[in-house]
């Protein structure tokens, strides 16, 4: 029997062993030399280790001998021996890469981000520390930043290039990505190079400094190609041909240590493709490497980022930039606009799987309609669904036909979705297209939908996320289920949202009860019910804006937005506003935002009802009501509709006989007019119906589902809704009435509650160790008489 030795045991080596087994490589006696003391694990999901995720890849196939903690350190090519004692007839080099550490003074005191041991070192180093800095704004750098942020450190990312992720996104995409990451409280420094670290002070080439208790270097990788003296690529790595063979016919190289046509690829998909080729060659095949697919889709610090094809090539580009929702999309096409060459998606990468499958071919419709989601993207049978394992649509649909009824079954059968995981949404789509009903599980930590979790919390009277996940879930939760559960707990009137464990569950803005802006400052939006404000209160708002140097703007919802407040200024601003009779407008929460109104019959000669009075009554009734998504409303005093009530989640228009109620409208990316639900009803009946509408929505909608899509997805639509909240077909009305009564009775202003508690106030500082020091990175310039971010 021939001897096969694999030097290295990472993800690519594991895939090679599986591919060899699939091809019946039983004539090889296989030995794996592993440097680490654990079997191969999933480095793509490395950050999830902090959340308790299982990263193990399943171990070696039967019959394979793995020597853990035994790296290959010497190769005798003449005698074909490894470490002087292990014979080989074929040697596969899968030694991977090492972190690149720039040669600046103090680099030896920094950490790196590559292995589980590195993560353990990060956790130990971060204990009791306040500030963490990551050198490198690429894929690994942002993952490392997320890890530091998750450990409670004030986190900075330093990138030498002028934008984040310079290898994957362009200038426009980098700008939107930076805005998202700024909004999370992570400070980004682009275009800056570190020249030294000394005693927790990082020094930049421009002369600036930054305090850094923990420094993690994630500035790229270098191939580990020192084991064997063989020809190397221009930037390192064992030079291999299209069969992944080196100059020595008995030695092959795969993964990050291989330079295919002179290029080293630091992604898992090319490494898996190389593993398949070498496994095929060692079992008598003739497989060759095509140009690797370098497409990537990741969720970095909760932000979707995708890059596919060749988005930086020459051609025609179509770009959508939505500063409001933080979405950037670019498609690159050939000069005749007939062929998709590549693309970049930031903020919303839902279209990534189907768009990537269209690479090299035409789009099904105009680029704008495809990017806006107005046109679905059909796939042909040969379209590649999974780039990590080169799985086509035909292979997936065939597996579904043979009985695969869910994503785990498809993963096991085809391996699609077992690499980077970016094709999982497309697998779900194909299951649906094939008529297979899909799970409504909220996320991987709960098998229940949001509606089912709401009912569990309500019936069991659960008051904490930890108890909920212990009894009805698994793991430690994620950025999907934590805010969703936080919203449910808040809607059940579970007290101040920043007390105890609830603080760790909240979305970014809720952490500071204010909206974070692109420069790291916050905006303050006091509630002004119905848009009605006394001159004295108006003067107070103006004085606060003047004294704190805030940018002021009247919003579309009849509010005054005060921009540019530093985090340590928020309590001072709130105190002035609260003392004048204002309260939080909840502009930061998934909650009721505003009830807009016209002046109604009080002033307008066309008004037929007092729209201002009703708008104020509705806003004060529903203020602070937490929901799956934000809620907006309006009341118009006549059919001329000056308050634009039909573009709201619920809108009211006055009639001669009473009020008309409209539900399910919204503005935004996909505007929708609300539908007429009731006509000529009294104020009492109107409010009771809105009560039940809102509570039924909160109880049954999916996470981040607006009322418009909730009604559209509802079986029976408006008719079903009428049956439930008017005819009481499900017997729920008494319970819905009790829920809203409990909310009204228990409402408390979050600003005032914060001001009345010194412990709660302690979180509102830019620097924990220097609470009175403003953030030096915040700078302003002036436009049209007001300050704006520089």
Q: How far apart are CA 521 and CA 350, in angstroms?
A: 30
* Contact indicator for 260, 287 with CB cutoff of 8 Å: no
Q: How far apart are CA 8 and CA 274, in angstroms?
A: 15
Contact residues for 453 (Cβ-Cβ < 8 A; gap 6+): 442, 446, 468, 472, 484, 485, 488
478 is in an annotated binding site: no
* Contact indicator for 25, 268 with CB cutoff of 8 Å: no
Nearest to 314 by CA among 341, 339, 294: 341
Structure tokens at 134: 């990551």
The separation between the first and the last C-alpha atoms of the chain, rounded to the nearest angstrom, is: 70
Q: How far apart are CA 703 and CA 633, in angstroms?
A: 20
Contact residues for 579 (Cβ-Cβ < 8 A; gap 6+): none
Contact residues for 709 (Cβ-Cβ < 8 A; gap 6+): none
Cα angle vertex 637, ends 634, 638, to 5°? 115
* Contact indicator for 194, 204 with CB cutoff of 8 Å: yes
Structure tokens at 162: 């002028």
* Contact indicator for 218, 141 with CB cutoff of 8 Å: yes
386 is in an annotated binding site: no
Structure tokens at 110: 């920094």
3-class secondary structure, 232 = strand
Q: How far apart are CA 331 and CA 32, in angstroms?
A: 43
Q: Could you tell me how far CA 583 lies from the centroid of its own chain?
A: 31
257 is in an annotated binding site: no
- Total residue length of the chain: 790
Structure tokens at 35: 């440097």
Contact residues for 237 (Cβ-Cβ < 8 A; gap 6+): 223, 225, 253, 256, 257, 258, 259, 264
* Torsion over CA: 142, 9, 293, 353 (sign): negative
Q: How far apart are CA 746 and CA 102, in angstroms?
A: 56
638 is in an annotated binding site: yes
Cα angle vertex 268, ends 60, 37, to 5°? 40
Residue ranges for the binding site for siroheme?
642
Residue ranges for the binding site for [4Fe-4S] cluster?
598, 604, 638, 642
Residue ranges for the binding site?
598, 604, 638, 642
């Amino acid at each position: 029997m021939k001897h096969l030795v694999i030097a290295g045991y990472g993800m690519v080596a594991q895939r090679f062993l599986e591919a060899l087994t699939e091809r019946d490589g039983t004539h090889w006696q296989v030995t794996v030399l592993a440097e680490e003391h654990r079997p191969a694990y999933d480095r793509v999901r490395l950050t999830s280790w902090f959340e308790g995720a299982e990263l193990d890849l399943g171990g070696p196939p039967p019959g394979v001998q793995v020597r853990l903690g035994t790296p290959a350190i010497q190769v005798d090519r003449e005698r074909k021996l490894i470490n002087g004692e292990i014979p080989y007839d074929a040697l596969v080099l899968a030694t991977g890469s090492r972190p690149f550490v720039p040669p600046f003074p103090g680099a030896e005191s920094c950490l790196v981000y590559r292995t589980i041991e590195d993560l353990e070192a990060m956790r130990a180093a971060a204990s009791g520390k306040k500030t963490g800095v990551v050198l490198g704004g690429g894929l690994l750098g942002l993952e490392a930043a997320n890890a530091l942020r998750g450990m409670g450190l004030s986190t900075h990312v330093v990138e030498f290039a002028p934008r984040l992720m310079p290898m994957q996104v362009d200038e426009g995409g980098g700008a939107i990505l930076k805005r998202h990451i700024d909004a999370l409280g992570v400070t980004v420094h682009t275009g800056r190079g570190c020249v030294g670290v000394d005693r927790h002070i990082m020094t930049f080439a421009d002369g600036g400094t930054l305090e850094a208790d923990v420094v993690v270097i994630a500035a790229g990788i270098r191939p580990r190609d020192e084991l064997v003296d063989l020809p190397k690529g221009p930037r390192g790595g064992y030079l291999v041909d299209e069969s992944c063979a080196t100059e020595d016919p008995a030695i092959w190289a795969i993964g990050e240590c291989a330079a295919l046509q002179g290029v080293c690829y630091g992604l898992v998909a090319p490494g898996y493709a190389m593993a398949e080729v070498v496994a095929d060659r060692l079992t008598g095949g003739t497989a060759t490497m095509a140009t690797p697919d370098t497409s990537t889709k990741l969720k970095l610090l909760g932000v979707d980022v995708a890059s596919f094809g060749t988005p930086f090539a020459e051609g025609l580009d179509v770009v959508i930039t939505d500063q409001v929702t933080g979405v950037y999309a670019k498609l690159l096409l050939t000069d005749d606009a007939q062929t998709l060459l590549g693309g970049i998606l930031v903020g919303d990468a839902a279209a990534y799987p189907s768009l990537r499958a269209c690479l090299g071919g035409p789009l099904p419709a105009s680029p704008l309609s495809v990017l806006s989601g107005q046109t679905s993207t059909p796939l042909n049978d040969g379209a590649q669904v999974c780039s990590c394992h080169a799985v086509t649509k035909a292979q997936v649909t065939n597996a579904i036909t043979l009985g695969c009824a869910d994503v785990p079954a498809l993963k096991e059968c085809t391996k699609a979705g077992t690499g980077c995981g970016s094709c999982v949404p497309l697998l779900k789509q194909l299951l649906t297209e094939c008529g297979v009903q899909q799970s409504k599980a909220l996320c991987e930590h709960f098998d229940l939908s949001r509606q089912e979790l709401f009912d569990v919390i309500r019936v069991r009277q659960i008051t904490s996320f930890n108890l909920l996940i212990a009894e009805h879930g698994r793991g430690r939760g994620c950025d999907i289920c934590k805010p969703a559960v936080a919203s449910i707990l808040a809607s059940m009137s579970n007290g101040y949202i920043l007390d105890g464990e609830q603080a760790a569950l909240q979305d970014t803005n809720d952490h500071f009860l204010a909206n974070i802006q692109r420069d790291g400052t916050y905006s303050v939006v006091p509630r002004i019910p119905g848009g009605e404000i006394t001159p004295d209160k108006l003067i107070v708002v103006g004085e606060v804006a003047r004294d704190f140097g805030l940018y002021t703007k009247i919003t579309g919802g009849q509010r005054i937005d005060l921009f540019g407040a530093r985090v340590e200024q928020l309590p001072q601003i709130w105190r002035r506003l609260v003392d004048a009779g204002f309260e939080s407008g909840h502009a930061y929460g998934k909650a009721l935002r505003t009830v807009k109104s016209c002046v109604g019959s009080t002033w307008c000669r066309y008004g037929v009802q007092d729209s201002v009075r009703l708008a104020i009554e509705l806003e004060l009734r529903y203020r602070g009501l937490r929901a799956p998504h934000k809620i907006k409303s309006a009341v118009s005093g006549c059919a001329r509709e000056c308050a634009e009530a039909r573009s709201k989640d619920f809108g009211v228009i006055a009639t001669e006989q009473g009020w008309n109620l409209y539900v399910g409208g919204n503005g935004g990316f996909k505007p929708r007019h609300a539908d007429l639900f009731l006509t000529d009803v009294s104020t009492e009946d109107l409010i009771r119906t809105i009560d039940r509408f809102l509570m039924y929505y909160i109880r049954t909608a999916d996470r981040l589902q607006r009322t418009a899509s909730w009604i559209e997805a509802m079986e029976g639509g408006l008719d079903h809704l009428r049956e439930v909240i008017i005819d009481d077909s499900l017997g729920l009305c008494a319970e819905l009435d009790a829920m809203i009564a409990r909310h009204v009775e228990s409402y408390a202003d979050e600003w005032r509650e914060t001001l009345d508690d010194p412990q709660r106030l302690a979180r509102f500082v830019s620097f924990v160790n220097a609470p009175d020091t403003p953030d030096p990175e915040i700078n302003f310039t002036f436009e049209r008489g007001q300050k704006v971010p520089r």
